[in-house]
Amino acid sequence: MSDPTKQWLIEITRTGGWLRVAVLDPATGREAVAHGPLNANEEDLLRLALNRLRRPEDPHPRDGLVV
């Protein structure tokens, strides 16, 4: 069950034909981003970014550069 007192920093940016929703957890420093077309529902993109943020970190990350 999620903590009802949990807070996130949310940034919604429109760039060209895209909508970018970034969510940052200030307690952990983790960030997750979702992109979609301008006509996408902001709440859907926010939910997608939050789900990505809540997903546990991979204890065995793949080889390569993570940016």
Is residue 2 situated within a structural domain?
Answer: no
Dist CA 27 CA 22 (whole Å) = 16
- Least confident segment among 32-36, 39-43, 57-61: 57-61
Residue 67 located in a structural domain: no
pLDDT value at residue 1: 44
Residue-level pLDDT at 56: 80
pLDDT at 6: 81
Q: What is the pTM of this model?
A: 0.76
Q: Which residue has the higher pLDDT, 26 or 67?
A: 26
Higher pLDDT, 9 or 58: 9
How many structural domains comprise the chain?
Answer: 1
Task: Measure Cα distances from 18 to 22, 30, 67 in Å.
Answer: 13, 23, 20
Report how far apart, in Å, the C-alpha atoms of 7 and of each of 18, 29, 38, 46 are: 26, 12, 26, 14
Containing domain of residue 14, as a range? 9-54
